[in-house]
Amino acid sequence: MGQRAPTTLALLLWSAFTGAAGFPLTCASVARTADAELASHAACAAREGEQLILAPTHLQQMRYETEGLASVWVAGRWYYV
């Protein structure tokens, strides 16, 4: 079988989306605190076509690894942002 090209989703920070109505999807990620574990967060993401959009307030709370990426679970898939 041939190889499939990975789906690439662009991460956008849209200030036009505000509040829970703008971010209908739930996410799971790890916060920046030292003892944080994977936790679910309501109203933190939206999809527009192939683009994943995370709420700016949620992005500020996520733990970023030394490579500068954070892991987030949205709609049954893992993403690195």
- Which of 80, 18, 30, 29 lies closest to 52, judged by CA? 80
Query: pTM (2 decimals)?
Result: 0.68
Give the pLDDT score at 48.
86
Q: How many CB atoms lie within 10 A of CB 54?
A: 26
pLDDT confidence of residue 62: 92
Q: What is the pLDDT of residue 15?
A: 39
pLDDT of the chain along its 81 residues, tens only?
A: 444 434 434 444 443 444 456 899 999 999 998 888 999 999 999 988 888 899 998 889 999 988 899 999 999 999 998
Three-state DSSP class for residue 28: strand
Query: Tokens 């954070």 — which residue?
Result: 70
